[in-house]
Structure 1
Amino acid sequence: MTATDMVAARPTSAKTEHFDVLVVGAGISGVGAAYHLQTQRPGTSFVVLESKDTFGGTWVTHRYPGIRSDSDLYTFGYRFKPWTGTPIATAQEILSYMGEVIEENHLARHIRYGHKITSASWSSQDNLWTVEAVHDGKPLRFTTNFLFMCQGYYKHDQGYTPQWPGMSDFKGPIVHPQTWPEDIDLKDKKVVVIGSGATAATLVPNIADQVEHVTLLQRSPTYFVPGRNANELADTLRELKVDEAWIHEIVRRKILFDQANFTRRAQEESEAVKAELLAGVRMFLGDDFDIDTHFTPRYRPWRQRIAFIPNGDLFQGIKAGKASVVTDEIERFTAKGILLKSGLELEADVIITATGFDLSVLGDIPFEVDGKPVDWSSTVTYRGMMFTGVPNLVWVFGYFRASWTLRADLVSDFVARLLAHMQDKGYHKVVPQVPEGMELKPWIDPENFNPGYLMRGLHLMPKSGEGSEWQHTQDYWAEKDELPKIDLDTAALRYS
């Protein structure tokens, strides 16, 4: 189901259009925001502006072989729509699910595709945001009382590829998964995939059967969790003919309870958790495989995201000899492959750099408040979703260790409550205000979570402060109870 199928063409108007709320992005967060606004704020006018020609965000951007979720869909799916498939889903399955949400709730009428936002400016005199956009090459203007930023957290147009010496010497193509070419031919080729995260672990088994050989080149190992792509509790409840809505809620709660316990144990019982994770890998690869070198990270579990390997497909490919893994540093690229610091040269016809992405703060849109450019790094975050000095704006930034959509649902609830509160009290403006003298810290503690994309872009992010009000705590188990109970008259929020 495409955007063309789901929304009729709208006439382009040169005049300014006004909405109570303007949602940026029609990915998993933006579609959820549209549902919650429509459901919880009937009568509120809103529009969703999406730069692409269809909904889906990440699941449209990434087109590499085997693209799938690395979060279970019982928690990555919305709380209001039961998930009935396997826990780890393909991009197409997720897009179909989102399409059903749009169709079943008549959300297409609110979504404008192919609208790229070029700037956003706030006027305190008018208590309005003015958003400039381009559609089909024509400039458009919108005004809104409230901006709901749901555009994600990374640059969609290109991925992150480190610059190694000799890259121009390599005779074959160098491909990043985020810009996967449709015409690439991997048949009977020697392929090297650089990376160690979920993308690399997805790509390797999905191309192993068509290539001559694929080598996973890791600069450092990552923790993985192999297991069946099934949920025994969900399957049992279905056998008992339990309603799917009940199954969805019960399974969500069980998964989230287990995740919270695992997170606690990863911090308090790090060595025991590490041993359990490595035992899962050893179960597939056996005792003779050098797991210490290739699958034992230098950091404790959960300092970076742990990818789920459905049915152990990556390890099965290695065990069968279709794929191999090398852990080493890159010295330079050569005409026929990659020279490693150990002296080994990996021959390759194609090199795939599954090396991550670049952080994007608020979509890299130029923002102004009363004529002054906004420098997000000089702001302080209120609960990881609002920012000092920036009125009437909320950003959805999900969880690192749990499914993104869990927080998207919670933040949408907060926005609906905040809008109702402002309407009831006659407020037109809200902006966070930090306590005087509060010590400021980075957005996230690197000792707690430190993936490469975050460390590379941390200097661009807002600051955090003391206490949960001034942090993105990354703790769903606490936030599921705290966010719905936020006192909207807290001193941290200043209204006028």
Structure 2
Amino acid sequence: MGEVFDIIIVGAGLAGVTASYRVQTLLPGKSFVVLEAKERIGGTWDLFQYPGIRSDSDLTTYGFPFEPWTGEKQIASGQQILNYIRNTATKYEIDSKIRGNHRVLSANWTSKEDRWELSVLANGLEVVMYAKFVMWASGYYDHESALNPTIPGLTDFNGIVVHPQFWPKDLDYRDKRVVIIGSGATAATLVPAICELAGHVTMLQRSPSYFLPVPTIAAEDALLRQYLPAWISSRLIRWKYIFMPRLVMELCKLFPNIIRSAMRKLTSSFLPLHIPHDPHFEPKYNMGEQRICLTPDGEFFKALHTQKASIVTDDITTITASGVELKSGNRLPADIIVTATGLKIQLFGGSRIPVDGESIVLNEKYTWHGAMLQDVPNSTLLIGYTSTSWTLGTDIMSQLTIRLIKMMEQRGAKRITPRVDPSQPLNPAPLLDISATYVKAAADYTPQAGDRGPWRRRVGYYEDCLKVRFGNLTHELEFEG
């Protein structure tokens, strides 16, 4: 007989710590534990070690709402964020609930006993644990493997090939020629971080992204902190950072051509004379359709001004022993190739989640309010937003979970299960609201959103707040037991 809990939270990163705080604060009588696959807490910020790693969201909204970020810089380093997560877990005694080296292999729902049976690899030994409810705070990407698209000839390269997700601590890039394949946030971070020591850094992209320079310390934030009490200034700053990205996204949808033109002028003003805007900074999509690459204080553009960094927009023909052959006929000599090609999406931490012995095929299921999986009882998936701060989304989904558990108790139910009304068929839509390559690559093994009612894709933070606090959450939700 294994240990029994009211709630098991899987994952001890930002989402897991947030969920733990909500559970112990809003459900004080419930027993819970946090299972973390790795030895240490911190999630993404414990895993990634590449040079310059930092947030690509402001820390006011990316941080915990119950423990506001007090640093002046809104874009923080990976180590600062990791310390912040661990200090918060310690302050609220959440760390005492976290068990490291506890990887969930499978979670099996049994309707006969109305509980989950989790098979857990705990410090090398397989044990069984039970829970009435499971909150999956394990993120949305695979920590063990990265997205590695086929690059012809890569195995022929005589130099070093590295993916940012598994950056070697002893990698020496001093005076080396480095080619970074990719154009997302990771590539935008790596270029300025390594170009000072490297011989030369080239960012090789197939298609451009939008780069937005942002100040690491906003003047208006400093003024608010200077002249207002902390409890007022922190709230005003938080709502500013919640409101502004949403405003930008809505403007992008309403006036795509105007926004594109404005971005063109802004980007051109930051570029050195020897680097033209086209084709390197003219994306094929409108702003807002994929995540924007933030560059703190314009550091990416500053790196291009040094002439130790360059950008190339082209297709790869093949990788040779000494570099990259391009479709244009040009060649990029390289000592190190960095494949900043994205993350491999993985939900539920890669665990199997059968229900009464029947396997769940994720891409055949719809998501209910973006949090529960169709036909899967007593389980929520804490997924953040892709176009705004991740933590905003995981926190509001934690609060949704709390409300669902309270609704179960009020009704005397032992399980809740989202069920699609067969009289109202659904048309599938992507679960995530961005058209990034790594999202498209995961279409065959991720659940879907629908086109009506509670199955629709989540819109944003304001809508989720209203829904969680005041909305009717019983539609197409079955209460049993």
TM-score range (shorter-chain normalised) is over 0.9
TM-score (norm 1): 0.94
Residues 1:271 and 2:220 are matched in the alignment:
no
Partners of 1:165 and 1:56 in 2: how far apart?
Answer: 35
Partners of 2:452 and 2:240 in 1: how far apart?
Answer: 28
Give the aligned residue type for 2:474: D
Offset, 1:122: 0.5
Asked if the contact 2:109–2:355 (Cα under 8 Å) also holds between the matched residues in 1, the reply is yes
Residues 1:469 and 2:459 are matched in the alignment:
no
Offset, 1:19: 0.2
Q: Which residue of 2 aligns with 1:426?
A: 412
Query: For residues 394-449 of structure 1, what are the alpha-carbon distances to aligned partners after superposition, in whole Å with 9 as ceiling and x for unaligned?
Result: 00111111111101111111111111221222110100111224343334278x62
Q: Which residue of 1 aligns with 2:16?
A: 30
Alignment of 1:212-361 (within 5 A): 212-243=199-230, 245-286=231-272, 289-361=275-347
- Do the aligned partners of residues 269 and 215 (structure 1) sit closer, same or farther apart at CA in structure 2, a change above 3 Å counting? same
CA RMSD of aligned residues (A): 1.5
Residues 1:58 and 2:10 are matched in the alignment:
no
Give the aligned residue type for 2:415: K
Partners of 1:427 and 1:416 in 2: how far apart?
Answer: 15
- Identity level (%): 37
Give the aligned residue type for 2:446: M
- Unaligned stretches of 5+ residues in structure 2: none
Asked if the contact 2:152–2:317 (Cα under 8 Å) also holds between the matched residues in 1, the reply is yes
Asked if the contact 2:408–2:414 (Cα under 8 Å) also holds between the matched residues in 1, the reply is yes
Q: Which moved more, 1:66-75 or 1:363-372?
A: 363-372
Offset, 1:332: 0.2
Partners of 2:30 and 2:429 in 1: how far apart?
Answer: 32
Query: For residues 121-150 of structure 1, what are the alpha-carbon distances to aligned partners after superposition, in whole Å with 9 as ceiling and x for unaligned?
Result: 000000010001112211111000001000
Q: Which residue of 1 aligns with 2:108?
A: 121
Q: Which residue of 2 aligns with 1:407?
A: 393
Asked if the contact 1:26–1:50 (Cα under 8 Å) also holds between the matched residues in 2, the reply is yes
Partners of 1:247 and 1:115 in 2: how far apart?
Answer: 40
Partners of 1:389 and 1:450 in 2: how far apart?
Answer: 27
Q: Which moved more, 1:185-194 or 1:279-288?
A: 279-288
Alignment of 1:63-102 (within 5 A): 63-85=49-71, 86-102=73-89
Q: Which residue of 2 aligns with 1:480?
A: 465
Q: Which residue of 1 aligns with 2:162?
A: 175
Partners of 1:288 and 1:348 in 2: how far apart?
Answer: 22
Give the aligned residue type for 1:455: K
Alignment of 1:378-389 (within 5 A): 378-389=364-375
Asked if the contact 2:431–2:449 (Cα under 8 Å) also holds between the matched residues in 1, the reply is no
Offset, 1:288: 5.8
What is the number of equivalent residue pairs in this alignment? 480
Asked if the contact 2:180–2:204 (Cα under 8 Å) also holds between the matched residues in 1, the reply is yes
Secondary structure of 1:206's counterpart equals helix
Partners of 1:204 and 1:443 in 2: how far apart?
Answer: 35
Q: Which moved more, 1:75-84 or 1:43-52?
A: 75-84
Partners of 2:49 and 2:456 in 1: how far apart?
Answer: 34
Secondary structure of 2:107's counterpart equals strand
Q: Which moved more, 1:82-91 or 1:254-263?
A: 254-263
Partners of 2:201 and 2:273 in 1: how far apart?
Answer: 23
Secondary structure of 1:293's counterpart equals coil
Q: Which residue of 2 aligns with 1:196?
A: 183
Offset, 1:461: 1.8
Secondary structure of 2:60's counterpart equals helix
- Out of 426, 439, 445, the residue aligned to residue 454 of structure 1 is 439
Secondary structure of 1:430's counterpart equals strand
Asked if the contact 2:138–2:347 (Cα under 8 Å) also holds between the matched residues in 1, the reply is no
Query: For residues 274-297 of structure 1, what are the alpha-carbon distances to aligned partners after superposition, in whole Å with 9 as ceiling and x for unaligned?
Result: 122222222211566311210110
Asked if the contact 2:212–2:294 (Cα under 8 Å) also holds between the matched residues in 1, the reply is yes
Offset, 1:227: 2.3
Partners of 1:362 and 1:443 in 2: how far apart?
Answer: 20
